[in-house]
Homo-oligomer: A and B are copies of this chain.
Amino acid sequence: MHKSTALLTDMYELTMVDSTLASGTADRQSVFEVFSRRLPSGRRYGVVAGTGRILDEIASFTFSDEELTYLKDTKIVSPETVDWLANYKFSGDIYGYAEGECFFPQSPILTVTGTFAEAVILETLVLSILNHDAAVAAAASRMTIAAHGRPCLEMGARRTHERAAVSAARAAAVGGFAGTSVLEAGRTYGIPAIGTAAHSFTLVHDTEEQAFAAQVATMGPDTTLLVDTYDVERGVARAVQAAREAGGELGAVRLDSGDLVAQAFTVRKQLDDLGATSTKITVTSDLDEYAIAALGAAPVDSYGVGTKLVTGSGFPTAELVYKLVAREDANGNMKEVAKKSASKKSYGGLKVAGRLADEDGVAREEVIVSAESWEQGRAELEEMGARPLQVPLVLGGSIQPHHSVAEASEHHISSRNQLPYQAWRLSAGEPALPSRMLDIFEGDNNPYEG
């Protein structure tokens, strides 16, 4: 695999650079904004995730000889543009919502300013990261709400692309998950790695007793034994026995099939009858936020979630777009711009966002103001008593200190806790907060095109 991230890019980004270099518009100062026109219908709020990954990948967004050779050989861009790309390094500014922050329709979650050419070229990579990671984080957040404090563990690697799996584990952690099965996510992001054994482990031994004894011998009696390979009741009895033969009490049993609610009650009673009151129950079969909610009253201690988590639980991509909202004109003045469309409303110009809360600290509105500058917009928001949402991520091409995964997760829980009751509903419906646009330019009255 190539290390450079520069070709993780739609071809049209480079042909636009090519054409604007030729037409003299490549160097126009520009403002691009990432936002969603709407949330997916099953979501009351969005979760910003992937910001830290964007900052890592922008650092490897450079064109080495290998990338340039491909572009030269295929004649995708002119020789002059190849030279320009050879020297490419993003030198502009990026502001964005802190990773983990909740967002709503029109929230300007990432704002990239720089020349047109240096900023447009980042579009594909920025959207890929945010659309994937935000979709998974939103699903994760709903699941951790439904789990009501019981730990949720990510186990979906096998149901998504192998590299997406690592990012999904990271996004799940931002959304409140406590661990992941994917070792690369453990290594790269320091997320606690979890896992013990699959059915094949039991099957490769001649008997279930031998399998359990083998696992307890290496992982200790405190391990989690998978008890449903043959017969759950017999499996539970053997599991408790295997741990005791090794001189301890069993850590947990894992249930991976069947009617989990009924089974959890039966198994809990069996464990208690055996005196294994400290032995926990973890369940892992086809869970989503609804199944987790349904297990709320069952004696379950943790949830392992796979497919539905890594595929965004019905919404595998956030609907984020990257739009040019302002740029310099021929006279060097900044102009707000927006595409004109009957069906989609577009709002031009630099926007600064804040969240207004009521006297009890409950958020009630996302306020988005049009501004000449960050400072001016922020001052306006502070005057209204709103909590400013954007932080500097890149200044003059230099990456700023930003949230670790653990900090993003903390920030998410804190932001989510501030949302009104509606945010906690799993049903489809309106966003938990309304977005109010103040003094915003609308593309429908574009004065720059006649």
User: Which residues of A come within 8 Å of B, CB atoms?
Assistant: 1-3, 5, 7-16, 18-20, 22-23, 25, 28, 30, 32, 57, 67, 70-71, 74, 76, 78, 116, 120, 123-125, 127-129, 131-132, 155, 157-168, 181-184, 186-188, 193-201, 203-208, 210-211, 213-215, 217-219, 228-231, 257-258, 307, 310-312, 316-317, 322-324, 327, 329-330, 337-344, 446, 448-449
Contact A7 B183 (CB under 8 A): yes
A113 to chain B, nearest CB (A): 13
Q: Among B1, B15, B155, which residue has its beta carbon within 8 angstroms of that of A1? A: B1
Contact B163 A161 (CB under 8 A): yes
Interface centre among A20, A200, A213, A219 (most CB of B within 10 A): A200
Contact A183 B11 (CB under 8 A): yes
Contact B218 A22 (CB under 8 A): yes
Q: Assess A15 versus B218: contact at CB under 8 Å? Given A8-B165, A158-B128, A317-B307.
A: yes
Contact A16 B197 (CB under 8 A): yes
Q: Among B3, B15, B193, which residue has its beta carbon within 8 angstroms of that of A195? A: B15
Contact B218 A70 (CB under 8 A): no
Contact B165 A128 (CB under 8 A): yes
CB contacts (< 8 Å) of A217 on chain B: these are: 19, 22-23
Contact B317 A9 (CB under 8 A): no
A and B contact pairs by CB, cutoff 8 A, 17 listed: A2-B184, A7-B183, A7-B186, A9-B184, A19-B219, A23-B214, A28-B204, A70-B183, A70-B187, A74-B186, A76-B183, A132-B164, A160-B316, A161-B161, A161-B164, A229-B340, A311-B316
CB contacts (< 8 Å) of A12 on chain B: these are: 181, 195-198
Complex: how many Å from CA A449 to CA B78? 69
Contact A158 B131 (CB under 8 A): yes
CB contacts (< 8 Å) of A339 on chain B: these are: 199, 203, 229-230
Shortest Cβ distance from A81 into B: residue: B218
CB contacts (< 8 Å) of A219 on chain B: these are: 15, 18-19
Contact A343 B200 (CB under 8 A): no
Q: Assess A158 versus B197: contact at CB under 8 Å? Given A19-B215, A19-B219.
A: no
Give me the 3 closest cross-chain CB pairs, A-B, nearest first: A23-B214, A12-B195, A11-B195
Complex: how many Å from CA A203 to CA B217? 67
Interface centre among A19, A20, A129, A198 (most CB of B within 10 A): A19
Shortest Cβ distance from A257 into B: residue: B341
CB contacts (< 8 Å) of A198 on chain B: these are: 12-13, 16, 120, 123
Shortest Cβ distance from A229 into B: residue: B339
A187 to chain B, nearest CB (A): 4
CB contacts (< 8 Å) of A208 on chain B: these are: 449
Complex: how many Å from CA A217 to CA B23? 9
A50 to chain B, nearest CB (A): 9
Q: Among B162, B201, B258, which residue has its beta carbon within 8 angstroms of that of A20? A: B201
Complex: how many Å from CA A8 to CA B198? 17
CB contacts (< 8 Å) of A193 on chain B: these are: 11, 74, 76
CB contacts (< 8 Å) of A188 on chain B: these are: 2
Q: Assess A204 versus B15: contact at CB under 8 Å? Given A161-B161, A339-B229.
A: no
Q: Among B9, B161, B231, which residue has its beta carbon within 8 angstroms of that of A340? A: B231
Contact A19 B128 (CB under 8 A): no
Contact A230 B57 (CB under 8 A): no
Contact A10 B162 (CB under 8 A): no
Contact A446 B230 (CB under 8 A): yes
Shortest Cβ distance from A330 into B: residue: B206
Q: Assess A23 versus B210: contact at CB under 8 Å? Given A7-B183, A230-B340.
A: yes
Contact A128 B186 (CB under 8 A): no
Q: Assess A196 versus B15: contact at CB under 8 Å? Given A1-B1, A165-B128, A344-B257.
A: yes
Contact A324 B200 (CB under 8 A): yes
Contact A258 B342 (CB under 8 A): yes
Q: Among B28, B158, B207, B338, which residue has its beta carbon within 8 angstroms of that of A127? A: B158
Q: Among B2, B323, B449, which residue has its beta carbon within 8 angstroms of that of A230? A: B449
Contact A157 B183 (CB under 8 A): no
Q: Assess A20 versus B127: contact at CB under 8 Å? Given A164-B132, A229-B339.
A: no
Contact B201 A19 (CB under 8 A): yes
Contact B206 A163 (CB under 8 A): no
A83 to chain B, nearest CB (A): 15
